[in-house]
Amino acid sequence: MAPTLELYTRKIGHPEWEEPFVVNMGPQHPSTHGVLRLYLELDGETVVRCDPRIGYLHRGLEKLSENMTYTQAMVLTDRLDYISSAANNTGYCLAVEKLLGLEVPRRARLLRTIVCEMARISSHLLWLATHALDIGAMTVFLYCFRDREWLLDIYEKICGARLTVSYPRIGGVRLDFTPEIIDELYQFTEEFPTRITDYETLIDVNRIWLRRTKGIAVVPPEKALNMGLTGPSLRGSGVPYDVRKFRPYDAYDEVEFEVPVGKNGDTYDRYRVRMEEMRQANRIIRQCLDKLAQTEGEPVVAEGAPDLLMPEKKKAPRAVPHPKKGFMVKGEEVPVVPEGEVYVSIEAPKGELGYYIVSDGSGKPWRVRVRAPSFVHISAIPEMVKGHMVADIIAVIGTLDVVLGECDR
Amino acid sequence: MNPIRTIFLTEIAKGLWLTLRKMFSRPVTVQYPEERKPVAPGFRGRHALVRDPNTGRERCIGCLRCAKVCPSRCIYIETERDPETKRMVVKRYEVEALRCVFCGYCEEVCPVNAIVLTEFYEYVGYRREDLYFDKERLLANWDEFLTTQKRPYFNPYWKPRGVPEKMLPAPKRKAEGV
């Protein structure tokens, strides 16, 4: 029998009969930062259950890279977290370098550190812009994009691309900086702290901002660790875990910086941590630039770094420069990449980004697995939004700083 | 919250004062179609095959390095032997620009600096064929780029800065700008 109108009206107000009110948030919702879909069960405006549905941006990057050589697969890592592609490239290159046992020259390490920190600043700026816009502060959005534009321009001068940079390569970086770039970066680091102060003037003590962020999505330290949060989301809860300090890679052991931590573990503390991180990133860039002057004229690619055109076979003759003629000749046969497996993680702007690579000795990776921070952070959303209002879901997604390109891969 | 701050809206006033100050600073907006931002040297844009000024032909020798290194496999090359001069010549050189990811690997591995990603970025097409560049289109792209180019052009990947010379093939070591 078809349900009548009377039956429907009777259902309302009956707690046993009442079905949960289901709302599908996304995948086209502008505040889900990509194509995240949240299946929400609501009681009035309070969230009872939240179920993230992911996979709308799945491109199979891990599988794709099995059919590519190591150098070709690096281009794919640009598309993981497309806001901070330089950091992704660096993590991948570090993993392959560990397999190969390559020692990267100091200048290349410094250059990589600079582009990684630039990626951190530009990622945090985009996070602040969209997070503030979601919560209702439009001016900050415009200011942040203005400053991010400057960084993208510098990227364009460094390597010729603004977003998908592909700047590091296995064994170093692809190009050295020109003196103009170094001058412009000095100018940037000079000016950027005042810009951060500007954003803080706008929203740090703003009552609307405080009401929307203080006490929202509180994560105690133990819970944050159990949920697998990393990066600023974990440090907001007061756990001073930073890969740059615990397992320093590139030039992070040479530079001085602090790891800011929060106290309460709410959205406001995570905001404060990211703002402070931008200042520290600025400081790191400054120190690296000073150190760059000491390594003037040094090579930026390691001796014995693989050619971009890697052979796909298991064993191939190594190209060695001919002593007199100006070209490479074939040397002895060596394994292209030694057999083995390796896990390397770096502190990406979003959190701990890990690469697990299994090599069977050929020029193609047998398996590449990416430990993406956004994927883990999305799994924490249901816990964090439980009992909050629908409007606070926006704040939670914003505060975790997820990028779906990285989550779905 | 501080009661004085609550009543007098000091933090809101501070923020408004900041935005008011910014009103008098120089605008950073670029009115795009009318004015354009300068493109950085070495920007990875539309593909082109370098025309050798001496021979008037392409520089490409058909070694297939770019086709092999391309991550998206968008370069297609066919070579043949010229019956008169007994030299290898490039019969077909095609780039499917829609598949390209603009990583710049091709220009970096090219031993004779034949393929470049020019600084030209404003190109569209109504059909897919419009962005399927064959050899003539690629050479025409280069000519078009050179006529619009105001400063002398040197692609940074022709001779990567900071890469030791012995790691580069000989023609790359003495690469010159156009």
For chain A, the residue count is 409
Which of the pair, A311 or A93, is modelled with greater confidence? A93
| Cβ contact, residue pair A308, B108, below 8 Å | yes
Nearest-by-Cβ selection for A160 from B6, B15, B44:
B44
| Model confidence pLDDT, tens digit, residues A93-142 | 999 999 888 888 888 999 999 999 999 999 999 999 998 888 888 888 88
CA distance B143 to chain A (A): 21
| Cβ contact, residue pair A176, B162, below 8 Å | yes
What is the chain A residue with the closest CA to B7? A207
Contacts of B150 (CB under 8 A, 6+ apart): none
Nearest-by-Cβ selection for B105 from A78, A153, A308:
A308
Which chain A residues touch B41 with a CB distance below 8 Å?
157
Q: Where are the domains of chain A?
A: 2-53, 73-303+380-399
pLDDT of residue A1: 46
- The closest alpha carbon to A359, from A21, A126, A55, A95, belongs to A95
Nearest-by-Cβ selection for B101 from A164, A201, A305:
A164
Nearest-by-Cβ selection for B14 from A143, A201, A309:
A201
| Model confidence pLDDT, tens digit, residues B86-95 | 777 888 888 9
Contact A217, A227 (CB under 8 A): no
**Amino acid identity at A101:** G
Which of the pair, B62 or A365, is modelled with greater confidence? A365
- How many angstroms separate the CA atoms of B155 and B47, rounded? 12
Which chain A residues touch B42 with a CB distance below 8 Å?
157, 159-160, 175
Using the Cα atoms of residue B157, residue B163, residue B169 and residue B174 in order, give the sign of their dihedral. positive
The overall average pLDDT reported for chain B is: 84
Question: What's the fold here for domain A73-303+380-399?
Answer: Cytochrome-c3 Hydrogenase; chain B (1.10.645)
Which chain B residues touch A68 with a CB distance below 8 Å?
71
| Model confidence pLDDT, tens digit, residues A27-77 | 887 777 778 888 888 888 888 888 888 888 888 888 988 888 888 898 999
| Cβ contact, residue pair B117, A327, below 8 Å | no
pLDDT of residue A113: 92
Token pair listed for A67 = 């059919």
Q: Which of A175-184, B50-59, B63-72 has the lowest mean pLDDT?
A: B50-59
| Cβ contact, residue pair A205, B156, below 8 Å | no
| Cβ contact, residue pair B160, A156, below 8 Å | no
User: What pLDDT band is residue A12 in, cutting at 50, 70 and 90?
Assistant: low
| Cβ contact, residue pair A161, B44, below 8 Å | yes
Which chain B residues touch A161 with a CB distance below 8 Å?
43-44, 102, 104
